[in-house]
A and B are shown apart, each in its own frame.
Chain A
Amino acid sequence: MKIAVIIKQTPDTETVVKINDAGNDIVGTGVKYVMSPYCEFAVEEALRTKEKLGGEVVVVSLGPDRVLETIRTALAMGCDRAIHLKDPAYEGGDGQATAKALAAALKTVSPDIVFAGKQAIDGDQSQVAVRVAELAGLAQATIVTALEIAADGKTAKATRRSEGGGEVVELKLPALISCEKGLNEPRYASLPGIMKAKKKEVKELKPAELGLEGQVGAAGAKAKRVKLLPLAERKAGRRIEAETPEAAAAELVRLLREEAKVL
């Protein structure tokens, strides 16, 4: 089975990001980058699929030099090889431009199944995975919390989370699965895995090699971020001091009712 997984490198959730002077991006220095957590579920599911049905797992990621670190993490976890879309021309794209590049790269792999995170934790747009599926003509199930692939590798049954409930969909492969928390528990790379990852292939592809010159990155984007709004500063909490727990609870109820007006 040909298995592909799309991953994105994002700032670590613990990193405090600052907005640049132009007000349209974050300051890149001093930021710790990691694999977006939902992509970790995608990598894990790809590896489990390979362990069950055999085949090969190819990682695909778009971004500058530093992305190689995250690709190496995926390879250390057990993916077999990688495609790195690395070129200044890829930078500054919107969901569509990025998806176009990724879909073209996937075409070189001809996967039976593609895994992706349901969203990246930086832009939170949840666009790329669905656009890739559209552009590549794949069936898709988004926000998946459970997956069963038939032994013959022709169909899959995906459980999706939806507001307050869920649904089960049957898909004809090839398909794209966007992964949600709860699908699995991602493994950590082992030391032998990290050492082996160094020898695994990471192929770089330029826009021209995908026949996409002038169509990716900023040149291919139809939407452009013009401004980043800072997080509202959290107000300090308030401590309720009271003689007894009962008195504290009563005071809390009073505040919720009279000040917060939520009761």
Chain B
Amino acid sequence: MDFAFDDDTRLLCEALRKFLKTEVLPLEEKHKDLLDGGKMSDEVARIGAGIRKKAVEAGFYTVHLPKELGGAGLPYVTTTALREEIAMSGSVILGLYVIGDPPCGPTPLLMLCNDEQRERFLKPLVAGDKTTCFALTEPGAGSDISSIQTMAVRDGDDWVLNGSKIYISNGMHADFFQVFALTKKPGPGEDAMFGCISLFMVDADSPGVERKLMKSMGGDDFQAEITFKDVRVPASNLVGDEGFGFLGAAQWLSGERLMMAIQAVGLARYALAFGTEWAKTRMAFGKPIGKNQGVSFPLADCATQIEAARWLTYRTAWLLDQGETAMTELAMAKVFAADVLGKVADQVMQTLGGIGYMAEHPIERIYRMARVFRIGGGTSEIQRRLIAKGLGL
């Protein structure tokens, strides 16, 4: 048994830390007012695009991709460690531009693209020239993917799309969307996933596309509603096999769980470090507040929970590296890390007291962000369902 990172991972983490310190964190400090607690404005997206280009040059942007897609072909453990570095760096938003992770960057989902499609869609993503988004969820279909209603009807050389997608991260800024739509209405008792749902690449400026910003609790202006009204999409934009678009995506979605688990761990570590420092330096009644067990014990519990979530996540990454599907462990890591982040954010805010509630410190933002970890990327209930299934229930 060996819990140490290998040399590659250590060197990469060190290089990434330096990249964040040189290229990302100073810009966040400089544009503090503009970032406004992590709002994805056009101006922020422009600054982010500059970072993205630098990350492409340094090789970080495609670090998560297999070699055949222009990536580094690194083990899951390594990419997990890199994502942890970003999450715990204290970056408010610009850190999101360093690794081309979903939803904005190139995802392994694009493995389904044929050569011609790779040229048109994958290449500009890998180069950091364009961004994309994952348009799956609909008002009537979240976890229950088979119920999507967006319809694509063949008309000559085109498909004609009608329907609407919601909560689409990066929807406002994406250059093209990865849209899941029915190319055939499922018959009675038929699961749409097998034979009915197809994947289309849709240019954001196609006539009939409308996107609207959705305000959220996170205040990050990152989600959009996208509607398609008689949007014509060339047949050559259908990716993978007609009717089986979601099966490719399913594989990608399991990777997203690992990503969210480690982001939760990284954010929790950052929050705990912030709270611990506060407990050491904030004086009350003549001593640092951390000298009171009422303050120190809850933080000790936070540290213990983070440690558990962290190694659950790394072990899951390791299992994936061994070629396992690790469906149960992925679900466990995601559900547990999301819960831990929520508890830690809540506890650290309590440690900080009044100042924790104020927007000038990062904890209230993390507290708000923590909530989405139990919802996005498969709700905690869906994860528990997967775990129960693993138990044979």
Contacts and interface: CB of A to CB of B under 8 A. Distances in A.
B346 to A, nearest CB: 27
B10 A190 contact: no
Nearest to B62: A191
A188 B283 contact: no
10 A-B pairs closest in CB distance? A191-B59, A188-B18, A189-B15, A190-B58, A188-B19, A194-B11, A188-B15, A190-B59, A192-B59, A236-B283
Contacts, number: 50
Contacts of B60: 191
B29 interface: no
A193 B12 CA distance: 10
A197 interface: yes
A236 B288 CA distance: 8
B283 A194 contact: no
A194 B8 contact: yes
Interface in B30-69: 57-60, 63
Contacts of B72: 191, 195
B7 A191 contact: no
Interface in A189-219: 189-195, 197-198
B152 to A, nearest CB: 38
A30 B78 CA distance: 21
Contacts of A73: 11, 14-15
A202 to B, nearest CB: 12
A73 B11 CA distance: 7
B74 to A, nearest CB: 9
B292 interface: no
28 contacts: A69-B10, A69-B11, A72-B7, A72-B11, A73-B11, A73-B14, A73-B15, A76-B11, A185-B22, A186-B18, A188-B19, A188-B58, A189-B11, A189-B14, A189-B18, A190-B57, A190-B58, A191-B12, A191-B60, A194-B8, A194-B11, A194-B15, A197-B11, A198-B8, A236-B281, A236-B283, A237-B281, A239-B283
A183 interface: no
A192 B99 CA distance: 15
B283 A76 contact: no
Chain B interface secondary structure, helix, strand, loop or mixed? helix
Interface residues of B, number: 21
Given A69-B10, A69-B11, A191 B22 contact: no
A189 B10 CA distance: 12
Given A72-B11, A195-B72, A236-B281, 17 more contacts: A69-B7, A72-B7, A73-B14, A76-B15, A188-B15, A188-B22, A188-B58, A190-B57, A191-B59, A191-B60, A191-B72, A193-B15, A194-B8, A194-B11, A194-B15, A198-B8, A236-B288
Interface of B: 7-8, 10-12, 14-16, 18-19, 22, 57-60, 63, 72, 281, 283, 287-288
A73 B13 CA distance: 11
Interface string A34-66: 100000000000000000000000000000000
Contacts of B281: 236-237
Most central of A186, A195, A237 by chain B CB within 10 Å: A195
Nearest to B11: A194
Contacts of A195: 72
Nearest to A185: B22
B201 to A, nearest CB: 27
Contacts of B8: 194, 198
A197 B12 CA distance: 12
Contacts of A239: 283
A165 B22 CA distance: 28
A237 B288 CA distance: 10
